[in-house]
Structure 1
């Protein structure tokens, strides 16, 4: 499907190492971190920067809070970069913050959302893995934690949550891409994310985790074939979000519960968040369907982000009115 994979990968990152941030190119972690600090400093009434934790290798996990200050605001949590090789995912989190900053006061719907909701945006969850995918192995997925009695590194963060942990669609072998870890939240990154959501569970009404690829919008459950108690509502919201997304470029998405729509998998963050009390919990699998897969060209960042914004705004708007 790809004539020369190395050429495709080289085109994903400009040959000269860029320190200049761009919304239409893939940015390395240092560039994303500098951008995070910068956009918060330039928009103090709308964006604030904090650190929710530290990775296994000691890198900070930065979180952006986006919204106008207010009391008792409901919140939407969005994270990107769970799996290191899914580069279009962090690109979307950056795009989302840009759109919020640029459209506040200009776009009525977005202004209303930012007045009434807070958005917590975690641009890169798996910071160590993301760096590794830039410097060492482009197709790396997991964290980089050391595993006892194994030469193989890392745990799959999206198998490490306490949601049917290590029961289905996962591996107990540290050398496998879907290794579940030694226990739920054994990874520092998992625990930092879970701790933040737990400590803000009263306000967080939606959890959106951005992955790639397959063009799907998934909701609980993945660890069981049983339907979530809110299945009908979650399905209706997903249908509306997918319809909004498709309206821009005609990109076709499927939607439904994770276990039956993509595959059974335990320990996922969306299932965990739902069980923790975040009703509107969704996983996006962005473009494409496998033509480029993880090697999605930079030319597709803009259209991917534009269409995904429509779905995210649809869900946020629903949450604002109904949560």
Structure 2
């Protein structure tokens, strides 16, 4: 290998490992474009291909239709030309994000990171890099060892371990399963933040919330806080708006597969691309990626008892129902739609925020190979895709000050779903099971005993001194 070849190889290695300077988005704008005719649609599609524009909504040019909003990130060298061409073609447009880099800078958390995090001071209202999330998972497992176990799902191309947390209390009865994946798309940081929030809320509210106590008795929650770990790390080190994983494709000429196009649900049929540089590259084959294989393996182990599959994303403010690859509805569409609609009514009561419910292909865009559709194809009763805040003002750059309200309203929605499955699908607990923690030797009784020891000692000391 000559010196030039070595240089090219080394540059590729640095780019792959995220060791070069961070990608910046100075002057990049996100435009909302609404073509009105088929000719205008074709024109926008041609510009997107010519300048390799980053489509935020829809995901692919094939899903651009007359009268339908297109959210697109335009690189700074093309911003002025793009606007001029849209004006020349009489295509309506507006500016959603004036400067993407300024928004990223605003959203960045500038704080000193010093080694291992502490669970006691862990902040759930900021975004965390992967090393802190790893620490958090370990400490959650240790602190709540009676409820939480941590399992190794697999590892990524870059040898990063993928862990899941299982939440549930021991039972001698067969338990239902709720499965949740987060962080499939690397740049969707709010999805990762929500998974941590969800786990924290379930664990801290279990003593005060009777529904959560019952759920933990009858349901095991399998939660993957970050599935696309390589991609997530890359968004912190190198390219904030990276979407895919980081596996090399086509002999290293490009990197990454869209993991939410890689499941065996009409794989690469629609809303996906076989071109490896595409943001929605579906991979060389169904479940070709290590992350996808890991999910499939765990899923197969627990699917016989699985009642619900949840996959968490942003943005758009939707609860999406199967399917994305067809306009046909799932067999139990009416039930899951009714539950989702009632859940967003509850959600709106929290922060008066509007979400939309419907089948993916009908209210968003056509897509195939998604984890939610794959779960539905495997006969999971409830399969939902959550597209969290916002509806376009910030897109994938949701500021940290919106983490708390986003998580609160999303949890409110899910708690309604859990109420429904509790009433409809779970067996009533008998008195012995309900009161188990209050029996002599039970957790509550032991806690009460230890709490009363200091009081008893004080009374004895007082009695001794008074006599």
Structure-to-structure mapping, 1:263-274, within 5 angstroms: 263-274=365-376
Query: Do structure 1's residue 109 and structure 2's residue 204 form an aligned pair?
Result: no
Mapping for residues 296-311 of structure 1, pairs under 5 Å: 296-311=398-413
Q: Partner of 1:165 in structure 2? A: 267
CA displacement, residues 250-305 of structure 1 (integer Å, 9 cap, x when unaligned): 11000111111110000010000111121100000000001001110000000000
Query: What is the CA deviation profile of residues 79-128 of structure 1, one whole-angstrom value per residue up to 9, with x for unaligned ones?
Result: 11010000000100000110011101112222222222111110001000
TM-score by length of 1: 0.97
1:51 counterpart (149, 152, 160): 152
The one of 185, 202, 218 aligned to 2:304:
202
Aligned to 2:101: 6
Aligned to 1:37: 138
Name the structure with the higher helix share. 2
2:407 corresponds to 1:312: no
Listed as ranges, the gaps of 5+ residues in structure 1 are: none
CA distance in 2, matches of 1:260, 1:269: 18
Measured at CA, do residues 17 and 34 of structure 1 come closer, stay the same or move farther in structure 2, by a change above 3 Å?
Answer: same
Provide the C-alpha distance between the structure 1 equivalents of 2:377 and 2:159, rounded to a whole number of angstroms: 29
Q: Which protein shows a greater Rg?
A: 2
The DSSP-based 3-state class of the residue aligned with 2:304 is coil
Which residue, 200, 212, 227 being the options, matches 2:329? 227
Q: 1:120 aligns with which of 222, 245, 252?
A: 222
Structure number with the bigger relative contact order (C-alpha 8 A, sep ≥ 6) is 1
Q: Is the 1:241–1:310 Cα contact (8 Å) retained in structure 2?
A: yes
Deviates more, 1:149-158 or 1:275-284: 149-158
Quick check: 133-142 or 46-55, which moved more? 46-55
Q: Do the aligned residues in 2 keep the contact of 1:117 with 1:320 (CA within 8 Å)?
A: no
Using the TM superposition, give the Cα deviation of residue 4 of structure 1 relative to its aligned residue in structure 2, in angstroms. Answer: 4.0
Partners of 2:320 and 2:133 lie apart in 1 by 27
Distance 2:243 2:423 in 1: 36
Structure 1 position 318, deviation (Å)? 2.0
Task: Give the alignment's Cα RMSD to 1 decimal.
Answer: 1.3
Taking structure 2 as the reference length, the TM-score comes to 0.67
Task: For structure 2, list consecutive stretches of 5 or more residues without a partner in the other structure.
Answer: 1-95, 426-467
Q: Which runs of 4 or more aligned residues in structure 1 lie more than 3 Å from their structure 2 counterparts after TM superposition? A: 1-4
What corresponds to 2:82 in structure 1?
none
Question: Quick one: distance in 2 between partners of 1:316 and 1:17?
Answer: 39
Q: Provide the aligned length of Structure 1 versus Structure 2.
A: 323
Distance (whole Å) between structure 2 residues aligned to residue 191 and residue 318 of structure 1: 31
